[in-house]
A and B are shown apart, each in its own frame.
Chain A
Amino acid sequence: MRALAPLGALGRAVLRLLGEVGRVALFALAAVSHVLRPPFYAREFAQALVQIGWLSLPVVGLTALFTGGALALQIYAGGARFNAEAVVPQIVAIGIVRELGPVLGGLMVAARVASSIAAEIGTMKVTEQIDALVTLSTDPMKYLAAPRVLAATLAVPVLVAVGDSVGVMGGWLVGVARLDFNGAAYLENTVNFLETWDVASGLVKGAAFGFIVALMGCYHGMHSSRGAQGVGRATKQAVVSASVLIFAANYILTEVFFAA
């Protein structure tokens, strides 16, 4: 029987994982249903929009700027190996708009927002504020989770759009200042090369990533265990799970959008 112990441990781990997946799926369904059904908390939604969208602009913008610049240098160096330096504007644009803009934007928002949501809701949980909400006839899912999930789902695509523009401009800056590209020709090549679906697919990814970030923050916050250690663990789990799910969702969405 002792020889079967590792199998038993593996089975328990798989069951725990499946149980967690089921709980997250039910939580996601509940969050979506609360987003769609009244009452709506406009004040909480507006606050979440500012926290998630407006205050994330600097970090998303700076990340995109430096990524665009580095990408231009890398593509120039790589392209030089087979005399294809001229493709820098096009590859920077498609790389930023389809992949790096949404993924890096999503990750930066995950680091900034998932942690803050989990810490805030986790603290409310351990100080019994969530129980107090229920005694005041207020559904915590509707009051805490729904506004944040909706705000993140709407705000992150806008952040991605801003990040795309700043990232392309980062590539343009490096292209013009370091790699001797003509500024006007660089921009013309970028605009002519990109298709509507390139940009739209990135924005759809942004919406999915925003949903994931807020969902993980709310889920881990509401399931936080007691004490400062419990809140710390919830914060860490929110960021890690949101980041991993963003990468997984990115692969699935890329497969759906572009596998043909």
Chain B
Amino acid sequence: MIELRGVTKAFGETRVLRGVDLSVPRGTSMVVIGASGTGKSVLLKCVLGLVAPDAGTITVDGRDVRAGDRDAFLARFGMLFQGAALFDSLPVWQNVAFRLLRAR
């Protein structure tokens, strides 16, 4: 279960997220739709702990996403970035096997 309570995030004067409350129960799919620049990517990055919210809490199965063993937490997620975010300095196979190579 992913839970967001009162999540707020601003970049300078621009408030992107304003007190977002959201629950995503285990086994369900959710689609977030909105115009460009309305904070969809920021919301996702907050869930993964890539961006720290200014206020509010985000928990996954009751655990704060930015606390505890981050490696174990992130291993449970996959994220496809808008611009693909391929490591262009690495060959394709190293992109695919990045996590495996790192674990060696």
Contact = CB atoms under 8 A, between A and B. Distances in A.
B99 A136 contact: yes
A127 interface: yes
A124 B48 CA distance: 19
Contacts of B78: 135
A132 interface: yes
A137 B83 contact: no
A120 interface: yes
B75 A132 contact: no
Nearest to B81: A128
Interface residues of A, number: 12
Interface in B35-70: 45, 48, 50, 70
Contacts of A128: 81-83, 85
By size class, the interface of chain B is 20 to 34
B77 A135 contact: yes
Contact of B102 (A120, A127, A134, A136): A136
Contacts of A74: none
Chain A contact residues: over half helix, strand or loop, or mixed?
helix
B74 A136 contact: yes
Given A127-B85, A128-B83, A131-B81, A138 B48 contact: no
Contacts of B71: 137
A33 interface: no
Contacts of B88: 127, 129
A124 B84 CA distance: 12
A132 B71 CA distance: 13
Nearest to B78: A135
Contacts of A127: 83, 85, 88
Q: By CB atoms of chain A within 10 A, which of B45, B85, B87 has the most?
A: B85
Nearest to B101: A43
Given A131-B45, A131-B50, A136 B85 contact: no
B89 interface: yes
A67 to B, nearest CB: 34
B67 to A, nearest CB: 16
Contacts of A138: 98, 102
B79 interface: yes
Given A127-B85, A129-B87, A131-B45, A137 B50 contact: no
Nearest to A127: B83
Interface string A137-174: 11000000000000000000000000000000000000
A12 to B, nearest CB: 15
A113 to B, nearest CB: 16
Contact of A135 (B50, B82, B86, B87): B50
Contacts of B81: 128, 131-132
A135 B98 CA distance: 11
Contacts of B79: 132, 135
A137 B82 CA distance: 19
A128 B50 CA distance: 11
10 contacts: A127-B88, A129-B88, A132-B85, A132-B87, A134-B48, A134-B74, A135-B74, A135-B77, A136-B98, A137-B99
Pick the 4 closest A-B CB pairs, nearest first: A132-B85, A128-B85, A137-B71, A128-B81
Given A129-B88, A131-B81, 12 more contacts: A127-B85, A127-B88, A128-B81, A129-B86, A131-B50, A132-B85, A132-B87, A134-B74, A135-B48, A135-B77, A136-B98, A136-B99
